Structure 1
């Protein structure tokens, strides 16, 4: 980690801000809808601290983005009933393999023409192809 890390200092050097903006843009091209922590809490009818607990326990995954460096959660990860249960095991495999949360989100939303459904790992997970996606996650992570 550099002595001036833009993840902890939102007013970091211009090059770091440009890199963060480029990372935001690349994720925005993949993830069409994001939720803030308050929006995820409201959707589920729970407190902000409960959502933070879901993030800590890896039931949800969020990435810091935007000018305020706020945590954003892909909307596909959560419903009014809570975090999507299909997600956690795959998230754990990818995280255990060393992927950052941003890399993990990118992997889940990147199109792969060899996959059924919409061609993304998240689309396949939501369509019930959990075993195939976890197998691919293990191959990717290890």
Structure 2
């Protein structure tokens, strides 16, 4: 059996772009990251957020819960991002993609199982 391969996010947003899309202040975006409502990683020294995790003018509904479960299971930001973007034929797609559809609860269940 082959190991799942991480898929790159479709696009990236800088924190000011996230603030604009969510119509909040940049300090609110920083707070959302601190409070695990949103994930950001450094790329070339700039913190960025995967674009598909910010749907329209909101954060994906189940993302904060999934992030908290991953962090509670010992994942750091990079590991959580890698998990969110691992190709999974049973979803189909990636957990990040599934958060936008009817498989979001399954993603949350799988993240919860990582803690055991």
TM-score range, shorter chain: 0.7 to 0.9
Q: Which residue of 1 aligns with 2:103?
A: 129
Which ranges in structure 2 are unaligned for 5 or more consecutive residues? none
- The CA distance in 1 between the partners of 2:112 and 2:104, in whole Å, is 12
- How many equivalent residue pairs? 112
Q: Which has the higher contact order (CA 8 A, sep 6+)?
A: 2
Q: Tell me the TM-score normalised to structure 2 length.
A: 0.86
Please identify runs of 4+ aligned residues in structure 1 that moved more than 4 A: none
SS at match of 1:30: coil
- The CA distance in 1 between the partners of 2:114 and 2:84, in whole Å, is 11
Q: Which residue of 2 aligns with 1:72?
A: 48
Which ranges in structure 1 are unaligned for 5 or more consecutive residues? 1-25
Q: Residue 89 of structure 1: CA displacement?
A: 0.7
SS at match of 1:61: coil
Q: CA 1:30/1:141 → structure 2, altered by over 3 Å: closer, same or farther?
A: farther
- Structure of higher CA gyration radius: 1
Q: Which residue of 2 aligns with 1:23?
A: none
Q: Tell me the TM-score normalised to structure 1 length.
A: 0.71
Deviations 1:74-122 (A, max 9, x none): 1111134222222111111011001011111111111011223xx2111
Q: Which residue of 1 aligns with 2:65?
A: 89
